[in-house]
Amino acid sequence: MKFLDLARPLLENPSILKIGQNIKFDIQVLANYDIEVKGTLFDTMIAHYLLEPDMRHNMNLLSEIYLSYSPVHIESLIGEKGNSQKNMRSVPDEKLKEYAVEDADVTLQLKEIFEPKIRAEGLEPLSSKIEMPLIPVLALMERNGVILDTEELKKITYGLREDIISLEKEIYVLAGMEFNISSPKQLGDILFIRLKLDDKARLTKTRQFITNEEILQRLAHKHPIVDKVLEYRGLKKLLSTYVEALPQLIDARTGRIHTSFNQAVAATGRLSSNNPNLQNIPVRDERGREIRKAFVPAPGCIFLSADYSQIELRLMAHLSKDKNMIADFLSGNDIHAATAAKIFGVDIKDVTREMRGKAKTANFGIIYGISSFGLSERLNIGRKEAKDLIDGYFNSYPGVKIYMEKSIKKAREAGYVTTMFGRRRYLRDIQSRNQMARGNAERNAINAPIQGSAADIIKIAMIRINDKLKSGSFKSKMILQVHDELIFETVESELDNLREMVIAEMSGAASLDVPLKVDWGTGKNWLEAH
């Protein structure tokens, strides 16, 4: 281990800048040799992500574009570094030395190109205060991992299989025959030839009926078989993607699942994860929520879940400066009930559940630039009623409409929009002659500053919480991040202090015209805590 012995003092010296490509990977490999990488980081992958969030960021591509290296040449340089963390746990010392020398030359050249660009585009604070400091936080969370209760998963598996068999029988009865429900062709023939649900059904290039989720959602009111097929697909996906797959991801060495957090994938700035993808575990239906029961803390610990409440709506209020929306949040009233009261012209105490539901859909839909057609589809109401709902919304919150118009105008002029913290989202189709492409870019112009600011805020909170966990000598660990939620494996004796610290750091991560609100819960599994 001569090379590592020489490198250790340098890697662990907090005063020395560390430059790399996908440094989180290097941190994980070195941690297997009990080396903790310390000091300021500059990651060329993350730097390029900030500059060009919609592109890919691997060293092969970056070297070809910026350094004119051929793909074959750079592939020989990076060697096995593209392999997964699991395959790199026992990298030979001589191979580590080879990586260090060969990566250094390419990475340093990329750094010299990207660093001035980041400064020139006003991205330096976002880079140095948020994205680069987040790298070791994510690395630690990945190494912490989470325990999976395989016995609980077996129970869920059994229940899912029973439900799937039951649904199959119901679908066969409704169809009047047995068929392969998972076959798009056979399903299309049943829906559009046998049951004649749509005489203008769309076809693929191979003359096969399209039966994707969007199409089925539109047909749901025409025949009960459609809802059953959607439910069947959902249960099959839960079974294959999560319930059967999760146990295969348990690390034999640690007995835990170690998801990988992706910092340079979503153009909005949001984190994603894979192996497993925790962001997509369904939370709206009962079966999806059940999967969270299988995620459990270590003995003697309890889960603490801390979740931003309605952060995107609060950001809309802040960014739009709409006085009515700000006042509704500051009043302490339920924002959806307050919105409903304005839209429908009733006192807030007279708002019905149906009114609130429509207002809630409008609240979140309008953040994403929903049209009257889209809202009518979402609420299953007429186009005119949907238009009246949107008009009522903008009459209630005129500042929101002005914000949306200004966002689109700025995107047309600059070609991008920014978050509160300077993150850019380029919208290259904003001037497109294609109405669909242009419309999508306009919706992103409205939403990207909101969604991106929410992503930046939780990242700031994660960095500050991680610092406090270290400086406060907590034994508790931050283990998961999903959308606006953070999960902690908490030593029970530390619960009160940890909860107080987490809520303070999350609510203080940004200063808005309306306060950031953090909901929290505890439990012996993720579902119970959430």
Do 140 and 10 share a structural domain? yes
Spell out where 402-503 has E strands.
Answer: 416-418, 424-426, 477-482, 485-491
In the predicted structure, residue 87 carries a pLDDT above the cut 60: no
**Same domain membership, residue 123 and residue 12:** yes
In whole angstroms, give the CA distance from residue 489 to residue 87. 27
123 and 14: one domain?
A: yes
Between helix 353-367 and helix 383-396 the angle, nearest 10°, is: 80
111 and 128 share one domain: yes
pTM of the full structure: 0.88
The reply to whether 292 and 425 lie within a common domain is no
pLDDT tens across 444-462, in order?
Answer: 999 999 999 999 999 999 9
Domain residue limits at 176: 148-255
Quick one: 9 and 65 in the same domain? yes
CATH number, position 494: 3.30.70.370
Same domain, 138 and 6: yes
- Note the pLDDT tens digit of each residue in 221-272: 889 999 999 999 989 988 988 899 999 999 999 999 999 999 999 999 999 9
pLDDT of residue 371: 79
Answer whether residue 260 is part of any domain: no
Which string of DSSP letters, residue by residue, matches 274-292?
ESS-GGGS--SSHHHHHHG
Residue 156, helix vs strand vs coil: helix
Q: How much is the average pLDDT of 287-312?
A: 92
Q: Are residues 362 and 477 in the same domain?
A: no
**Could you give phi then psi for residue 281, rounded to 5 degrees?**
-65, 120
Determine the number of helices (DSSP H) and then strands (DSSP E) in the chain: 23, 12
Under the banding of pLDDT at 50, 70 and 90, the label for residue 93 is low
For the segment 311-360, what is each residue's pLDDT rounded down to a tens digit? 999 999 999 999 999 998 998 888 889 888 888 888 888 889 888 888 88
CATH number of domain containing 432: 1.10.150.20
pLDDT number for residue 386 = 83
Instruction: Answer yes or no: do 220 and 291 share one domain.
Output: no
| CA angle in degrees (0–180, nearest 5) for 516-517-518 | 120
**Same domain for 427 and 468?**
no
pLDDT of 530 reads 81
Examine the domain organization and report whether 201 and 123 are in the same domain. Answer: no
Percent of the chain beyond pLDDT 90?
A: 62
Residue 298: pLDDT over 50: yes
> What is the SS3 assignment for 31-79?
HCCCCCCCCCEEEHHHHHHHHCCCCCCCHHHHHHHHCCCCHHHHHHHHH
* DSSP secondary structure string for all residues of 357-386: HHHHHHHHHHHTT--HHHHHHHHT--HHHH
Strand partners, 480: 487
Domain count, the chain: 4
- On whether residue 223 sits in a domain, the answer given is yes
Find where tokens 């309008």 sit.
366
CATH code at 101?
3.30.420.10
152 in the same domain as 137: no
